[in-house]
Chains A and B, each alone.
Chain A
Amino acid sequence: MKFTLSWLRSHLDTDAPLERLTDTLSAIGLEVEAVENRAAALAPFRIAEVIEAVQHPNADRLRACRVDIGEGAPISVVCGAPNARSGMKAVFAPPGSFIPGTGITLKAGEIRGVVSAGMLLSAREMGLGEDHSGIVDLPAEAPVGTPYARWAGLDDPVIEIAVTPNRGDALGVRGVARDLAAAGMGRLKPWAAPAVPGRYPSPIAWRTEWPEACPYVLGRAVRGVRNGPSPRWLAERLTAIGLRPISALVDITNFFTIDLGRPLHVFDIGKLDGQALVMRRGAGEVFRGLHGRDVTVTAEDCVIADAAGVQSLAGIVGGEATGCDDGTTDVFIECALFDPVRIGLTGRRLQIASDARARFERGIDAALMPAALEAATRMVLDHCGGDASDVVAAGAAPDRRRSARLRFARLGGFGGAEMPAAEAVAILERLGFAVEERTETEVRVAVPSWRNDVAGAPALDPAPGLDPERAERAVAGTAAIEPECDLIEEVLRIRGLDAIAPVSLPRAAPVPAATLTPAQGRAALARRTLAARGLAECVSFSFLARDTAALFGATPDALRLLNPIASDLDQLRPTPLASLALAARGNAARGFADAALFEIGPGFESDDLAGQRAIAAGLRTGMTPRHWRAAARPVEWVDAKDDALALLAALGVPAESLTSTREAPDFYHPGRSGVLRQGPKTVLARFGELHPRLAGTLDLPAACAFELFLDAIPEPKRRRRTALDLSPFQPLRRDFAFLVAASVSAEAVLRAARGAERGAIAGVALFDVYEGEKLPPGQKSLAIEVTFQPRERTFTDAEIEALAAKVIAAVTKATGATLRG
Chain B
Amino acid sequence: MDDLAALKHATEAALAAASDLRAWDAVRVGVLGKNGSLTGLLKALGQVPAEQRRERGAAVNRLRDELADLVEARRAALEAAALEARLAAERADVTLPPPAIPAGSIHPISRTIEEMTAIFGAMGFTVGEGPDIETDWHNFSALNIPGHHPARADHDTFYLPGTRDGRPLVLRTHTSNVQIITLLTQEPPFRVIAPGRTYRADHDATHSPMFHQCEGIVVDRDITLAHLKGCLVDFLRAYFAQPDLKVRFRASYFPFTEPSMEVDIGWNRRTGEIGAGGDWLEILGSGMVHPRVLANCGLDPREWQGFAFGMGVERVAMLKHGIADLRPFYESDLRWLRHYGFSALAPAMLHEGL
Interface residues of A (CB under 8 A from B): 26-29, 31, 164-167, 341, 344-345, 348, 361-362, 412-417, 458-464, 466-467, 470-471, 473-478, 480-482, 485-486, 488-489, 492-493, 497-498, 500-509, 512-517, 520, 524, 527-543, 557-566, 569, 572, 579-580, 583, 586-587, 590, 592, 595-598, 600-602, 604, 607-609, 611-612, 625, 627-630
Contacts and interface: CB of A to CB of B under 8 A. Distances in A.
10 contacts: A167-B253, A414-B305, A477-B294, A498-B248, A505-B218, A516-B126, A528-B347, A542-B197, A586-B333, A609-B164
Contacts of A534: 101-104
A558 B122 contact: no
B333 A630 contact: no
Given A344-B148, A470-B298, A537 B291 contact: no
- Kindly list the 5 A-B residue pairs having the minimum CB-CB distance in the complex, ordered from nearest: A416-B226, A515-B121, A583-B332, A508-B124, A164-B253
Given A463-B184, A477-B303, 19 more contacts: A29-B250, A31-B250, A361-B150, A458-B292, A474-B295, A477-B302, A478-B301, A503-B224, A504-B231, A514-B126, A515-B127, A524-B347, A531-B341, A536-B337, A538-B107, A560-B160, A565-B202, A607-B164, A607-B169
Nearest to B169: A607
B341 A537 contact: yes
B199 interface: yes
A38 to B, nearest CB: 22
Interface stretch (B7-15, B52-60, B130-138): B130-138
B263 to A, nearest CB: 10
A488 B257 CA distance: 13
A539 B132 contact: no
B225 A414 contact: yes
Given A416-B227, A537-B107, A540-B332, A463 B142 contact: yes
B interface bracket (residues with beta carbon within 8 Å of A): 35 or more
A513 B123 CA distance: 10
A506 B120 CA distance: 13
Contacts of B333: 586-587, 590
Contacts of A504: 227, 230-231, 234
B36 interface: no
Contact of A166 (B109, B110, B253): B253
B338 interface: yes
Contacts of A562: 158-161
Contacts of A540: 330, 332
B323 to A, nearest CB: 13
Nearest to B104: A531
A602 B252 contact: no
Contacts of B191: 505, 508
Contacts of A543: 209-210
A461 B146 CA distance: 8
Contact of A524 (B99, B114, B248): B114
Contacts of B51: none
Interface of B: 96-97, 99-107, 109-110, 114, 117-118, 120-127, 129, 131-133, 137, 141-142, 144, 146, 148-151, 153, 158-162, 164-165, 169, 171, 180, 184, 189, 191, 197, 199, 201-203, 209-210, 212, 218, 222-231, 233-234, 248-253, 255, 258-262, 288, 290-292, 294-303, 305, 329-335, 337-338, 341, 343-345, 347
Q: Which of B103, B210, B259, B261 has the most CB of A within 10 A?
A: B259
Given A414-B305, A461-B142, A165 B160 contact: no
B227 to A, nearest CB: 5
Nearest to B190: A508
Contacts of A516: 117, 121, 126-127
Interface centre among A344, A415, A505 (most CB of B within 10 A): A505
B334 A595 contact: yes
A524 B184 CA distance: 26
A488 B132 CA distance: 35
A29 B252 contact: yes
A625 B295 contact: no
Looking at chain B's contact residues, the main secondary structure is mixed
A507 B169 CA distance: 39
B49 to A, nearest CB: 55
A485 B150 contact: no
B149 A461 contact: no
A477 B303 CA distance: 8
Nearest to B196: A602
A229 to B, nearest CB: 35
A604 B197 CA distance: 14
A775 B95 CA distance: 45
B229 A460 contact: no
B315 to A, nearest CB: 15
Nearest to B149: A165
Given A463-B184, A497-B261, A558-B162, A503 B227 contact: yes
Contact of A478 (B105, B234, B291): B291
Contacts of B218: 505
A359 to B, nearest CB: 12
A530 B102 CA distance: 12
Given A541-B330, A561-B160, A497 B251 contact: yes
A536 B184 CA distance: 38
Contacts of B159: 561-563
A515 B237 CA distance: 20
B158 A564 contact: yes
A417 B330 CA distance: 43
A26 B124 contact: no
B230 to A, nearest CB: 4
Given A470-B298, A497-B249, A505-B230, A482 B292 contact: yes
A565 B201 contact: yes
A535 B334 contact: no
A517 B127 contact: yes
Contact of A461 (B133, B141, B189, B291): B141
A528 B226 CA distance: 37
A488 B201 CA distance: 35
B227 A505 contact: yes
Nearest to A601: B197
Contacts of B231: 504-505
B328 to A, nearest CB: 11
Contact of B252 (A164, A506, A515, A520): A164
Contacts of A488: 259
Nearest to A413: B224
B192 to A, nearest CB: 10
B259 A515 contact: no
B166 to A, nearest CB: 8
A480 B332 CA distance: 52
A563 B161 CA distance: 10
B295 A505 contact: no
A31 B252 contact: yes
A462 B296 contact: yes
B160 A530 contact: no
A492 B253 contact: no
B345 A528 contact: yes
B104 A566 contact: no
Contact of B125 (A482, A515, A604, A608): A515
A457 B133 CA distance: 31
A513 B210 CA distance: 32
A361 B249 CA distance: 28
Contacts of A539: 107, 109-110, 212, 329-330
Contacts of A629: 99
Contacts of A503: 224, 226-227, 229-230
B115 to A, nearest CB: 12
B160 A414 contact: no
A512 B127 contact: no
Given A485-B291, A612-B133, A528 B344 contact: yes
Contacts of A416: 224-229
Contacts of A625: 99-102
Contact of B203 (A164, A489, A565): A565
A460 B337 contact: no
Nearest to B343: A531
Contacts of A517: 126-127
